[in-house]
Amino acid sequence: MDITPYSAGCGALVAGVQLADLDDKGLEVLRRAYVDHGLLFFREQNLPPEEHLRFARRFGDIVVNKFFKTTDAFPEIAEVRKEKTQEMNIGGGWHTDHSYDDEPAMGSILVARGLPTTGGDTLFANLYAAYEALSPGFQKMLAGLRAVHSNRHLYGEGGYYRQTDLSEQLGGIDRVGDAVHPVVVRHPQSGRNVLYVNPGHTIGIEGWSKEESAALLKFLYKHVDQPQFTCRFHWEPGSIAFWDNRCTWHMAENDYQGQFRLMHRITLKGSALGEAA
């Protein structure tokens, strides 16, 4: 197996392995790479849904997304689907999956199933690198803060997605909720401190006014969204991205209007997140 950095500051490309045939030794190498990089890309994989599930279960338990449709045959696989006639896509802004849960998802494994001929890339950001680039004084100020995360503004009654042509695809209107996590968490596997706020789901800083929260979050979001912390993944048939939701953001480009795109996503169960060390 060959693991090389994908870009200067974000992700790694794993070559020389078929995930469907991964042996236990290979699994250990991948587990290590997942902790070290937080974002792994694979090309030319042959991973039908049964094998996608089998691979995911080797990493942990699966958590089913409350809002997306699942495939008919595999209720643990969510569909990230955009029809030719649809304008809105799923995940079109920077976010990390399930940060609105008390136990946010550990990771997500996204497999390309139907791709547009142009566009439809996914962008990723490395939140370790972004955090480590902040000054020690600023890091210290962030350490005591907690942020509120929610999905109500997206999937609840009158929420953003409910007012778009994505609405018919969504369930879970009665399953919305909020969670509070430290702004800087200690990553459960790596033990490293990492910034844990995201534009999609973080709605404010606990105990701060709306304006104060907005000012801090705006600064942090602009800081993360810089070329040295981000990368772009162009999907090809057989491509897979496997990311750690505790230390990355992602965002699906919506630049392929009139074309179909279908991805299969399995999300892995995580645990409650503790404060920075």
Smallest distance, ligand SIN to C-beta of residue 228, A: 22
The residue (of 99 and 108) whose beta carbon lies closer to ligand SIN is: 108
Smallest distance, ligand SIN to C-beta of residue 14, A: 18
Q: Say which of 52, 181, 246, 250 is annotated catalytic.
A: 250
The residue (of 106 and 252) whose beta carbon lies closer to ligand SIN is: 252
Q: Say which of 37, 81, 95, 181 is annotated catalytic.
A: 95
Q: Which residues make Cβ contacts (< 8 Å) with residue 25, sequence separation at least 6?
A: none
Site for ligand SIN, rule CB under 6 A: 80, 90-91, 108, 110, 122, 250, 252, 263, 265
CB 77 within 8 A of CB 264: yes
Any idea what the Cα angle at residue 101 is, between residues 41 and 215, rounded to 5°? 85
Indicate if 31 belongs to the active site.
no
CB 38 within 8 A of CB 126: yes
Smallest distance, ligand SIN to C-beta of residue 129, A: 20
Q: Say which of 52, 97, 187, 264 is annotated catalytic.
A: 97
Smallest distance, ligand SIN to C-beta of residue 84, A: 16
The residue (of 108 and 198) whose beta carbon lies closer to ligand SIN is: 108
Indicate if 97 belongs to the active site.
yes
Q: Say which of 81, 201, 261, 265 is annotated catalytic.
A: 265
d(CA 17, CA 11): 17
Beta strands 12-15; 39-42: pairing state: parallel
Q: Smallest Cα–Cα separation from 59: which of 77, 32, 80?
A: 32
The residue (of 80 and 220) whose beta carbon lies closer to ligand SIN is: 80
CB 81 within 8 A of CB 262: yes
Tokens representing 172? 């879970």
Indicate if 98 belongs to the active site.
no
Indicate if 101 belongs to the active site.
no
Which residues partner with 12 through β-bridges?
5, 40
Q: Which residues are catalytic?
A: 95, 97, 250, 265
